[in-house]
């Protein structure tokens, strides 16, 4: 169980968040949410070395102040920073995974 803060409001994020969301979407939803969480934790090139074969060729990263970045630019940018090397004890804390009800 990990704690995080957004806008001054504290919330407890638990590993069960993904399981709870997945339970409302059946086994396909559960698998999709597990894959999303695994990608963030192990394959996104932020917390670990990049795994380019796990990123689609038409991938586009869009952030509030960065992007859009195509796959090549995303991997180049994260390869420049190598956050996982700069902060070797960094711990992923993904939470809030949901399935879009209009585009499951």
User: Which residue bears the tokens 């638990």?
Assistant: 14
| pLDDT reported for residue 19 | 52
Q: Is the predicted pLDDT of residue 45 greater than 60, yes or no?
A: yes
Q: Nearest Cα to 54, choosing from 30, 74, 29?
A: 74
- Global confidence as pTM: 0.65
Is the pLDDT higher at 14 or at 36? 36
Q: What is the 3-state secondary structure (H, E, C) of the chain?
A: CEEEEECCEEEEECCHHHHHHHHCCHHHHHHHHHHHHHHHHHHCCCCCCCCHHHCCCCCEECCCCCCCEEHHHHHHHHHHHCHHHHCCCCCCCCCCCCCCCCCC
59-88 confidence digits (pLDDT tens) = 999 988 989 999 999 999 999 999 999 999
CA distance 5 to 70: 30
Neighbours of 57 (CB within 10 A): 8
């Amino acid at each position: 169980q990990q704690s995080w803060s957004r806008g001054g409001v504290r919330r407890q994020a638990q590993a069960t968040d993904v399981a709870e969301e997945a339970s409302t979407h059946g086994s396909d939803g559960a698998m999709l949410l597990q894959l999303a969480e695994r990608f963030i934790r192990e394959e996104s090139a932020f917390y670990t070395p990049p795994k380019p074969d796990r990123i689609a060729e038409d991938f586009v990263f869009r952030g509030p102040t960065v992007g859009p970045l195509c796959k090549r630019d995303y991997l180049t940018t994260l390869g420049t920073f190598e956050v996982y090397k700069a902060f070797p004890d960094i711990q992923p804390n993904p939470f809030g995974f949901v399935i879009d009800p209009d585009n499951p």
